[in-house]
């Protein structure tokens, strides 16, 4: 399979603080990675390099075959879809307008910029595919968090990127909206078989069924990476979060809860 993303022995130091140490990862076309770890583990820092937003202090980052530091960053970013629930929209843009900003990589509609008929058609196709048909004119300030999340996915897909980054996409969603979003991501994976995705979260319940691979990081270091079923285990998750957590996998979905009593003691002992 085509290599989409590669990090080789990456270190990141900011303000004299070591944020990431010796991080290596390869993502290929059609793979759907989950990046798991506690708060402060370095997940967001790692995602900024995957999205060509930051450079490593040491090591190499290759995105779509181009090495950061040796490529025009702006053009590279145009080929990466990025879904961030904290996306800032200051104007009361419509669903259609927000989706169309994916062509310019801006948060607002650029002055004197007009989308082509082809872009209009693509935007409407994505709006329909993501369950927002009939809501093209809905305004950002009055939309639910679930509707915003699906709108941002449509925006990220407008230019048909080979790489999609999802930065805690379930943030702020209630249970129903979260499930709708995960169904949307699963549908996206089925209908775009070559699309590579990296989803960041610290909640295993927020992983779609179509997750194929996972990396666990803790304190800026890789604890484990590989096939999701091999990585998302009670022992490894317990070690990463430094707390006895029982991990289960049923019907294609993961769940995690505190291991209690003798189970907690057994988990703690096995991870020591």
pLDDT in tens, 62-94: 999 999 988 888 888 888 999 988 888 888 999
Distance between first and last Cα of the chain: 38
CA 179 to CA 226: how far, in whole Å? Answer: 25
Q: Are 31 and 213 in contact (CB under 8 A)?
A: yes
Domain 1-79+162-232: top CATH class: alpha beta
Which of these ranges, 12-16, 252-256, 262-266, has the smallest mean pLDDT? 262-266
Pairing mode of beta strands 196-201, 163-167 = parallel
> What average pLDDT does range 13-20 have in this prediction?
95
In the prediction, which pLDDT does 104 show? 83
% of residues, the chain, pLDDT over 70: 96
Pairing mode of beta strands 163-167, 80-83 = parallel
> What average pLDDT does range 205-220 have in this prediction?
97
Integer Rg of the chain from CA? 19
CA 248 to CA 268: how far, in whole Å? Answer: 17
Indicate the Cα dihedral angle 50, 53, 56, 57, nearest 10°: -160
> Which of these, 270, 201, 179, lies nearest to 233 by C-alpha position?
270
In the prediction, which pLDDT does 261 show? 57
Confidence of residue 50 (pLDDT cuts 50, 70, 90): very high
Helical H segments across 144-260, by residue range: 145-157, 175-191, 228-231, 234-241
Please state the pTM of the whole predicted model: 0.89
Residue 260 makes CB contacts below 8 A (sequence gap 6+) with none
Sketch the domain layout of the chain as residue ranges.
1-79+162-232, 86-160
């Amino acid at each position: 399979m085509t290599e989409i993303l590669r990090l080789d022995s990456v270190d990141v130091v900011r303000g004299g603080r070591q944020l990431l140490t010796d991080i290596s990862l390869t993502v290929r076309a059609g793979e759907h990675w989950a990046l798991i770890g506690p708060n402060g583990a370095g997940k967001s820092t790692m995602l900024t390099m995957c999205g060509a937003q930051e450079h490593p202090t040491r090591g190499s980052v290759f995105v779509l075959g181009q090495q950061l530091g040796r490529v025009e960053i702006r053009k590279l970013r145009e080929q990466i879809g990025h879904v961030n629930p904290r996306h800032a929209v200051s104007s009361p843009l419509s669903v259609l307008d927000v989706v169309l900003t994916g062509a310019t990589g801006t948060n607002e509609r650029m002055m004197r910029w007009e989308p082509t008929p082809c872009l209009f058609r693509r935007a409407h196709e994505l709006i329909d595919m993501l369950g927002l048909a009939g809501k093209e004119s809905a305004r950002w300030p009055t939309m639910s968090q679930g509707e915003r999340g699906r709108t941002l996915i449509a925006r990220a897909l407008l230019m048909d990127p080979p790489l999609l980054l999802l930065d805690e996409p379930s943030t702020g969603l209630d249970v129903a909206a979260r499930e709708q979003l995960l169904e949307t991501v699963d549908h996206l994976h089925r209908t775009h078989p070559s699309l590579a995705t990296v989803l960041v979260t610290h909640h295993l319940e927020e992983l779609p069924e179509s997750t194929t691979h996972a990396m666990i990081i803790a304190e800026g270091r890789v604890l484990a990476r590989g096939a999701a079923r091999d990585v998302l285990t009670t022992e490894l998750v317990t070690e990463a979060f430094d707390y006895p957590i029982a991990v289960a996998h049923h019907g294609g979905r993961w769940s995690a809860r505190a291991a209690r009593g003798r189970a907690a003691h057994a988990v703690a002992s096995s991870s020591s």
